[in-house]
């Protein structure tokens, strides 16, 4: 392959596993094989499946907490499970994660305390967890701002010689933002070890992909910056792990940034405040439910004897224990101080702010 061809993604999304749960006849194809995407070992795939099952239960519990008023908002990632799990399981000790608001499942898989990771969604200030201690940036709501943070952190790790890689999650809508392009360009120019994972779930809230871009694949945006890129079936956990491993190896070995476009689908609404029936049909949702990444991989693992029915039940029970712990934590009322509203607004509070603070303080004194 020429230098340019090495940057280009495969002409079709990389796929190892059919939606029915059987391996693709003949493997992932010549293009994918030429790029070094290898079938992961069964033990690693069992771990991906287990984390998807537990992550799905976490996601369902968080969605339920919004209906009980325990979370202000929650953007579900149901259906994007393989995208949330496989790249995170590829990370090693010195690596950093830079998530979006939709990546709570990825934080769960990374091992963050759910009470801390959901603090922001509960309405608390800051991210709830310590970014430095967890090597995990705050979940960003402004689109694509984390691309700059990831590229800068990756460059910093090179300068310090720590050997880490920055994993940056991006949504398809965020690829239309300037910060995405600036982050990609910086990472390429400075050869910063960054893995950008674009979760193309087909909608930027209610705006369909066709109204965002004419590009044949978002992965083609990488070549414009000199970034090696790939498109993958994001509902195929085997393909997601195989390509994630290649991307991290590329970045870790000095090859610079890598862009992965994961073709997937958001099975739930954008958030609990969204009515998805206004912009997509039930037939479309049903079609994607039929490509569920958990069912897909579980079918193959059972058929090949890598797990048994008893294993499925054990992991399901583990998920219920996790959900019960989350309910117990989140049902505790937070201790709130209304006066915090007025802190850190201005270095020197304005007269109006002082007046408002005095009014709230007087009201609180009467309680």
Positions annotated as catalytic residues are: 266, 270, 279
Taking alpha carbons only, the member of 227, 228, 263, 215 closest to residue 15 is: 263
Taking alpha carbons only, the member of 169, 183, 166 closest to residue 222 is: 183
- Contact between residue 33 and residue 27 where contact means Cβ atoms under 8 Å apart: yes
Integer Cα distance of 204 and 207 in angstroms = 5
Tracing tokens 């992991």 back to the chain, one arrives at: 315
- Contact between residue 255 and residue 40 where contact means Cβ atoms under 8 Å apart: no
Measure the CA angle with vertex 198, ends 192 and 201; round to 5°: 175
Q: Taking the C-alpha atoms of 71, 72, 77 and 79 in order, what is their torsion angle to the nearest 10 degrees?
A: 80
Integer Cα distance of 327 and 310 in angstroms = 26
Taking alpha carbons only, the member of 178, 205, 197, 278 closest to residue 241 is: 197
120: its two tokens: 């922001």
Contacts of 139 (CB under 8 A, 6+ apart): 99, 100, 101, 103, 104, 107, 117, 120, 127
- Contact between residue 270 and residue 206 where contact means Cβ atoms under 8 Å apart: yes
Integer Cα distance of 300 and 246 in angstroms = 23
Dihedrals φ, ψ of 14, to 5°?
A: -65, 130
Burial class (CB in 10 A: 0-12, 13-18, 19+), 203: buried
């Amino acid at each position: 392959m020429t230098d340019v061809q090495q940057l280009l993604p495969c002409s079709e999304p990389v796929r190892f596993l059919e939606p029915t749960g059987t391996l693709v006849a003949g493997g992932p194809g010549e293009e994918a094989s030429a790029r070094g995407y290898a079938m992961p070992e069964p033990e690693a795939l069992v771990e991906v499946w287990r984390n998807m099952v537990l992550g799905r239960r976490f996601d369902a519990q968080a969605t339920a907490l919004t209906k009980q008023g325990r979370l202000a908002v929650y953007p579900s990632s149901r259906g994007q499970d393989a995208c949330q799990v496989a790249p995170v399981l590829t990370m090693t000790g010195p690596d950093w994660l830079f998530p979006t608001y939709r990546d709570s499942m990825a934080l769960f898989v990374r091992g963050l305390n759910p009470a801390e990771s959901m603090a922001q969604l509960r309405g608390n200030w800051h991210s709830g967890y310590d970014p430095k201690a967890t090597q995990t940036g705050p979940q960003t709501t402004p689109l694509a701002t984390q691309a700059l943070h990831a590229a800068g952190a990756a460059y910093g790790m090179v300068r310090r010689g720590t050997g880490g890689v920055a994993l940056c999650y991006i949504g398809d809508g965020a690829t239309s933002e300037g910060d995405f392009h600036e982050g990609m360009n910086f990472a390429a120019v400075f050869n910063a070890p960054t893995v950008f994972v674009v979760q193309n779930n087909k909608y930027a809230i209610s705006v369909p992909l066709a109204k965002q871009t004419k590009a044949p694949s978002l992965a083609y945006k990488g070549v414009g910056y000199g970034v090696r890129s790939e498109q993958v079936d994001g509902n195929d956990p085997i393909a997601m792990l195989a390509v994630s491993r290649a991307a991290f190896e590329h970045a870790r070995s000095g090859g610079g940034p890598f862009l992965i476009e994961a073709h997937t689908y958001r099975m739930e609404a954008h958030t609990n405040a969204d009515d998805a029936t206004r912009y997509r049909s039930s037939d479309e949702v049903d079609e994607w439910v039929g490509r569920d990444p958990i069912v897909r991989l579980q079918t193959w693992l059972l058929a090949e004897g890598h797990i048994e029915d008893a294993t499925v039940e054990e992991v399901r029970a583990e998920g219920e224990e996790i959900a019960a712990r989350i309910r117990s934590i989140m049902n505790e009322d937070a201790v709130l101080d209304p006066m915090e509203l007025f802190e850190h607004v201005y270095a020197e509070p304005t007269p109006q702010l002082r007046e408002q603070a005095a009014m709230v303080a007087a009201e609180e004194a009467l309680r």
